[in-house]
Each structure stands twice: as C-alpha cells, then as structure tokens.
Amino acid sequence: MSKQIYDRVALIGLGLIASSMFWAIKRAGLVGEVTGYARSSETRDTARRIGLCDRVCDSAAEAAEGSDLVVLCVPVGAMESVMKEIAPVLKPGATISDVGSVKRHVIETVQPHIPEGVHFVPAHPLAGTEHSGPEAGFAELYDNRWCLLVPVENSDPKAVAALRGLWEGMGANVEEMEADHHDLVLAVTSHAPHLIAYTMVGVADDLRRVTDSEVIKYSAAGFRDFTRIAASDPTMWRDVFLTNKDATLEILGRFTEELFALQRAIRTGDGDHLFDYFTHTRAIRRGIIEAGQDTDAPNFGRERAKP
C-alpha cells in the first residue's frame, strides 16, 4: 500500500483519463477523498452509478473547494473557463494540474487565473485508448507509461514532488520537460500521426462510396489500425490541433517532404531508396518495443477473436 499523498483531489472532467486516475489512485491508496465533476448530468449520473469518485459534485467549484490538488481533465479549449470558475474557491497551498496533450497553450490560458498562494504544475500522461467516457477507465492504464511534468517558472518544488509521487504511485514513469519542447515532441509522436490517420480513413471513406464497402470488408491490419487511432475523441483532437498549431504544421511540413521523396522513388523505380528508408524506420519500431512501450507479440498482443 502506497502512502497517502493528498487528503483530497478533485478531477474536473470524468472521461477516460480521469476515470483511470481514480481507479489507479484507489488501487494504491494515494488519496483520502476524490471528488469529481463533469459538465454533462448524464456523465455525472453514470459516474455515481459505477462508483467513480468518492463524491460526484454538481459544479466544478464544489468539487474544487477544499481540495489539495485539482486536475483539469477537460479538453484543452475548455481549461481557461473552468479555471476562471474554480479560482475563487481554491484554498491556499492547493495545486492545479492538468492532463492536456498541449502545454504552451494551457500555460498561457490557465496561469493568468491561478490565485496567489496556489501552485501550478502542468502535466501530460502519455496514455490512452481509442475509447472515451467515464466507463472507459481502468486502473492499469498508466502502468509503465510516461507522464511528463511541465513545471512553470515559479512552480513550487514541493508541489512538483507531490504530483510526481502521485503519478508514480499510479504506476507511471515520470519526467520533467519544458513546454515548447513537449509540444514539438508530441507533434511528432502523437498529433501528426493522428492527423495522418484521420486523413487516411477519410480517403478510404471517399473510395468506399465507389467500391461498395470493399474498403471496410477487406481491411488489412494497416488500415484497421488507422481506424483505431481515428476513433479517438473528436473534441479533444480538434482542440489539440488548434492549440498546437505551429509545432504540428512544422512536423506536417517535414512529413510532406518525406512523402514527396518516397513518391519520387516509387515513380522512378528507386528500390534502393525505398529499402533503405524502410530498414531505418523498422528500427524505430524495435526501439519502442525495447523501451517497454509496446509488445512484439503478433497483432500487437491482442487476443485472437474466438471462433
């Protein structure tokens, strides 16, 4: 049993990330009481029904009041308005954090509303599935995944250490990173790949109208995995691209250049270029497996469908 790190934690927004945080916190006994709030009354009802959070509140301010840590688990575009709402009720010494996939924008919009005496430690757990909503969460989501802490200039070291302890207690590996570097790294590892997946599925949908659903019926593993990525929450991803515009556009520009080079190699029959390129990129996959961030089991370790 891990030692308790906070007396009370508030989770604002009760989707996959927050619900997994709650179950991971409970698994390790890290917090005395967890309060929660979701904008939708339907989500709050679901949370109460499945026992998600010790106390589900009917406003963000009610959930945040008296909490030692408040985690903003809403889409990046909604964080500023939530912060404005909860600011008046925060107790001195409390910490505000978040789970947003973009960090510079969160800092610019949330930090101005942090009251005197309240700490601000942005964070981003690099974990998720294609499923969303309060019932999608599970305690093991963060096990051996990375959580990046992005302290601001005046983040309190004790507040940072406590938040690190919470994430480590939930099973995550924790590192600190500067905001702009975080946004560039995530543009490479997450944001641009999602946009490419959305695009490929959109192209296939256009083709499907011509080929009478053959694209779906004969989906091979490559396209099928694109559809899994493209099934992610649309509100969250809209906000990610609008708030990490510069880094995403830079990476997409590089991607376009690489794509043109591959098109040229295919057009001119340059097999050596294609083979060398694919050999190099295959090594990236091996590195991910060796880092323990995926499995080399067939079909990504998914269980085979029962006959």
- Identify the pLDDT of residue 229: 84
CA distance 132 to 246: 27
Query: Is the same domain home to 159 and 220?
Result: no
- Whether 86 and 191 map to the same domain: the answer is no
How do residues 182-217 score in pLDDT, each as one tens digit? 999 999 999 999 999 999 888 887 876 666 567 777
Expressed as residue numbers, the domain containing 264 is 181-269
141 and 190 in a single domain? The answer is: no
Spatial distance between the Cα atoms of 106 and 125, rounded to a whole number of angstroms: 15
The pLDDT tens digits for 273-307 are: 999 999 999 888 888 888 888 888 766 655 544 43
pLDDT score, position 250: 94
Q: Is 302 part of a structural domain of the chain?
A: no
Would you state the pLDDT for residue 2? Answer: 63
User: Across all residues in the chain, what is the average pLDDT?
Assistant: 92
> Of 37-46, 255-264, 283-292, where does mean pLDDT reach its minimum?
283-292
Residues 14 and 159 in one domain: yes
Does 280 map to a domain? no
The answer to whether residues 202 and 81 belong to one domain is no
Which of 205 and 32 is assigned the larger pLDDT?
32
Query: What token pair was written down for 137?
Result: 């969460």
Query: Does residue 136 share a domain with residue 25?
Result: yes
Average pLDDT over residues 91-95: 97
β-strand pairing of 146-149 with 31-37: unpaired
Identify whether the C-beta of residue 100 lies closer than 8 Å to the C-beta of residue 106: yes
254 in a structural domain: yes
Does 117 map to a domain?
Answer: yes
- Whichever domain contains 172, its CATH number is 3.40.50.720
What pLDDT score was predicted for residue 305?
44
What total of structural domains would you count in the chain? 2
Rounded percentage of the chain residues whose pLDDT exceeds 70: 93
Task: List the CATH number of the domain containing 226.
Answer: 1.10.3660.10
State phi, psi for 135 to the nearest 5 degrees.
-85, -5
- Is residue 167 included in any domain, yes or no? yes
Q: Mark whether 188 and 168 lie in a shared domain.
A: no
Residue 244 placed within a domain: yes
pLDDT tens for each residue of 104-136: 999 999 999 999 999 999 999 999 887 889 999
Q: Is residue 303 part of a domain?
A: no
| Domain co-membership, 171 together with 189 | no
Taking the C-alpha atoms of residue 137 and residue 131, their distance in angstroms, rounded to an integer, is: 9
